[in-house]
Chain A
Amino acid sequence: MSAGTSKIDVTVTDVVTVNELVKRFHFRRADGQLLPTFSGGAHIVVEMRDDDRTRLNPYSLMSSPLDTRDYTISVRRDDTGRGGSLFMHQRVKPGMGMVISSPVNLFSLDLRARKHLMIAGGIGITPFMAQTSQLSGDGSNFELHYTCRTEALGTYADVLRARYGRRIHLYRDDQGERLPLEQLLASQPLGTHLYICGPAGMIDWVRRTAAEAGWPDDTVHFEHFAAPQPGKPFDVTLALSGKQIHVGEQQSLLEAIEAAGIDPPYLCRGGVCGQCETKVISYDGKFLHNDHWLSEEEHRSGCKIMPCVSRFDGKSLVLER
Chain B
Amino acid sequence: MTANSILSRPVYGTLSPQPGRNHLFVADAEGAAAILDMAKAAPKGFFADAHIIFVPGDTGAHYVEALKSLQAARFYEGPSTAAALPRLRQTLATAHMGLRIYLAGTEGLIGLAMQAAMEAGFDHASIQTEHRGSLARRIQCVHCKGITENVTTQPATCSHCGLVLLVRDHYSRRLAAFQGVCINAEDPTEIPQAEEIFR
Q: Chain A interface (Cβ within 8 Å of chain B)?
A: 112-114, 185-192, 211-219
Contact = CB atoms under 8 A, between A and B. Distances in A.
B99 interface: yes
A141 to B, nearest CB: 11
Contacts of A189: 95-97, 121
B19 A190 contact: no
Given A114-B121, A189-B121, A190-B121, A219 B19 contact: no
A112 B95 CA distance: 17
B100 A214 contact: yes
B189 interface: no
Interface stretch (B65-73, B122-130, B134-142): B122-130
B122 A190 contact: yes
Contacts of A190: 92, 95-97, 99, 120-122
A192 B123 CA distance: 10
A28 B20 CA distance: 48
Residue among A113, A187, A216, A218 with the highest chain B CB neighbour number at 10 A: A216
Contacts of B99: 190, 214
B: interface residue count bin: 10 to 19
Interface majority SS (helix, strand, loop, mixed), chain B? loop
B98 A214 contact: yes
A94 to B, nearest CB: 45
Given A188-B97, A218-B126, 7 more contacts: A113-B121, A185-B97, A185-B98, A188-B96, A190-B120, A190-B121, A213-B19
A215 B121 CA distance: 13
Interface in B78-129: 92, 95-100, 120-123, 125-126
A187 B121 CA distance: 15
16 contacts: A113-B121, A185-B97, A189-B97, A190-B120, A190-B122, A191-B120, A192-B121, A211-B19, A213-B19, A213-B97, A214-B20, A215-B97, A215-B98, A216-B125, A218-B123, A219-B123
B18 interface: yes
B121 A191 contact: yes
B21 interface: yes
A234 to B, nearest CB: 41
Interface string B125-155: 1100000000000000000000000000000
Contacts of B18: 214
